[in-house]
Amino acid sequence: MNSRAYLRQGQPPVGSKTVAIATVQMGYSFRSRLEVSKDGGVAVIQMKDLLADNTVGCDGLVKTDLDMVKNHHLACRGDLVFRSRGLVSNSSILLDDPGKAVVAAPLIRIRITQYDRVLPEYLNWYLSQREAQVFLTSRAIGTAQKMISKEILEDLEVLLPSLECQKNIVELAALSAREQALLSVLAEKRKHYISMVLMQFAKGE
């Protein structure tokens, strides 16, 4: 039987049948502009590191010097990085170990606390689905530059099928994305071929 859960730290509302499955934390806020240091000890995950396939690219993370960074600010494999501002309000998952790294504000870090109930990959997929998007969009602040606050994200309810079902959904979603990518490449090649043939007709060849 499917259940529902909140993205909320601590206990759910009194009388609620849902459970809290994650902690939601605002990204690290730098007091001034980010000072990049090639020999810095801490990597920084920024908006530019969130890839089109909803994963976090760790190869190009910039580094900085942060002497006082605390452990609870550090990101780790399996964390989700949520876009809290802009036209797109979804997340990307850290599939690789980023080492000693922080998520930069205004991004938000989501960390699963109930691994016996939800897979990080499933939650990453769910946040892009219509049910979640309708909830987030309806509560977004602003118009031209909409913003999803930490509190709004914490109040999101997530539909939770069994872990086996979640795994199947993630695998099917990955296959579908791969299929769409191949179809896009095929369509572009076909367009190029037809254009070349038509140009030959135009030249009388």
- How far, in Å, CA of 7 to CA of 84, rounded? 15
- Consecutive sets of 10 residues in the chain, 205 residues long: mean pLDDT of each? 66 58 90 79 92 92 84 92 89 93 94 92 95 91 83 90 94 89 89 88 80
What integer pLDDT is reported at residue 130 of this predicted model? 92
How is 63-121 classified by DSSP, letter by letter?
A: EE--SS--GGGB--TT-EEE--BSS---EEE--S--SSEEEBTTSEEEEES-TTT--HH
Q: How confident is the model at residue 163, as a pLDDT?
A: 94
Residue 170: predicted pLDDT: 95
Distance CA 197, CA 176 (A): 31
Give the pLDDT confidence score for residue 66 in this predicted structure: 81
| pTM score, whole prediction | 0.84
